[in-house]
Structure 1
Amino acid sequence: MNTPLIMIVGAADTGRAPLTAALLRRMLLQRTIDVRVESAGVLGHDDDPASPDALAVAEHLSLDLSAHRARSLSADLVDAASLLLAVDRGTARVARLRFPQAEARIHTLGELAGRDRDIPDPFKMQIGPWLIYAQEIERLLQQALPRIIAFLPQVLTAPPDSKPPAPLPVVAEERRAAAERTAQLLDLMTRIPGIVEWSAAREQIEITIALAQARQAGASDLVAAYGALLRAALALTPPVPGTAHLAALRDAIARLEQPITSEDVGSLSARLGAWSTLA
């Protein structure tokens, strides 16, 4: 039996669509589910590479889109796909109008995740919004995964002789120690306000982030994306941070003692939305 195909449908197939495909591909591979995940667009940007912003955020997420080339959604691709997963409702509407025979197989990511949500197109935005939207895409994929798998003719796992997924690697002692020291410093600042100048503490946090990113613990360690979000948190922290900001930074820095997972990145990304409300 042929390997099932999931087709991610985007607008130009240069940003959200290839990024979503790469995230879903990795997610299924980690679960040893044998499925092809590809992408195509409805606007006809054939042979265009992934956008520079998509390439940059993919690198932060330990993904590689350098070989990606956009293509148009065709009747052959539609017929071959078990599921056509559109990045937003507008794209899904276009796909349904062009290929009405496949309407039952065309859904948005928000629909399958049980959310009334479309991820905005971050075209020409800075890397921060791209990272935030990429992490939201990953969370929606996780929520939608059982329904995505239900569209497949059968769940095909990897052959019995395949190697199991590798365990999370061990973090270098230098990174672990730096994260522990900085977390302890922030904890001291929460308990004894004014004991350390914020400028000095902030410099120490920046050094710890840079060290952690330089000591990535393997491809599954999402420390690059996590570090970018930590820097965004620093930018949002007031010149005289309160104990809530210090405690939140302490908890976030402490996570650097272990390999960073997608859940860690998603949690910090979600917390950034309320960062300015911390006392």
Structure 2
Amino acid sequence: MRKLLFICTGNTCRSSLAEVIARRILEERGKEKEVLVSSAGLAAIPGMPASPQAIEVAEQEGLDLKGHQARNATPEGLKEADLILTMTEQHKQMICELVPRIDDKVYTLKEYAADTREEIENNPDIADPFGESVEVYQECYEELKRYVTRAMDKFLEKEPGADSA
């Protein structure tokens, strides 16, 4: 089973939403037994629930984040993942500093999923909605859905053990 890991800061908004979006895609395609999807944060408080706004947006989309508990990224978990998708360039850099020699499997979500470089030049990161309104979370969700869907298309067409990008 291949392992896909989404990373953000606190693991209560972006990466947790990306995780449930990816799981839904796998279920819809009958591939849930082929890929293990998880999420973590680089500065998470372990056990924290998803933010209320993330839970509300997920519910509106038919997804469930009520049982989510934040967890921290660990060097072991990062090494075990076949692909690591971060929400920002800074997250990517931090991971590559934390665990040397894994940079060949660490990408920002947009970098991995974008059709062209121009698409992400002016806006390479998924903005953090933490503390914002439900409307801002909904915008974040829509952006995540677009890029996670593309990332899953790309990841699923790769053979296990093949280069990630």
- Is the TM value for this pair above 0.5? yes
More strand by share: 2
Q: 1:67 is matched with which residue?
A: 67
Determine the C-alpha separation between the residues in 2 that align with 1:67 and 1:136.
Answer: 23
Note the C-alpha offset of 1:143: 2.4
Residue type of the alignment partner of 1:90: Q
Note the C-alpha offset of 1:76: 1.7
Identical counterparts, % of pairs: 28
Alignment counterpart, residue 6 of structure 1, candidates 4, 7, 13:
4
Q: 1:102 is matched with which residue?
A: 102
Structure number with greater Rg is 1
TM-score, normalised with respect to structure 2: 0.85
Structure 1 stretches of at least 4 aligned residues deviating more than 4 Å after TM superposition: none
Determine the C-alpha separation between the residues in 1 that align with 2:48 and 2:158.
Answer: 30
Gaps of 5+ in 2: none
CA offset digits 1:44-86 (Å, max 9, x no partner): 3111111111111111111111111111111221122110111
Determine the C-alpha separation between the residues in 2 that align with 1:122 and 1:151.
Answer: 31
User: How many matched pairs?
Assistant: 152
Q: 1:85 is matched with which residue?
A: 85
Contact map agreement 2:113 2:148 (CA 8 A) in 1: yes
Corresponding position: 1:21 with 2:19: yes
**Higher RCO structure (Cα 8 Å, ≥6 apart):** 2
Note the C-alpha offset of 1:5: 1.1
Residue type of the alignment partner of 2:142: Q
Determine the C-alpha separation between the residues in 2 that align with 1:46 and 1:137.
Answer: 23
Q: 1:210 is matched with which residue?
A: none
Equivalences for residues 1-279 of structure 1 within 5 A: 3-33=1-31, 34-114=34-114, 115-116=119-120, 117-150=124-157, 153=160
Contact map agreement 2:75 2:98 (CA 8 A) in 1: no
Note the C-alpha offset of 1:150: 5.0
Helix, strand or coil for the counterpart of 2:101? helix
Helix, strand or coil for the counterpart of 2:38? strand
Note the C-alpha offset of 1:26: 0.6
Helix, strand or coil for the counterpart of 2:45? coil
More helix by share: 1
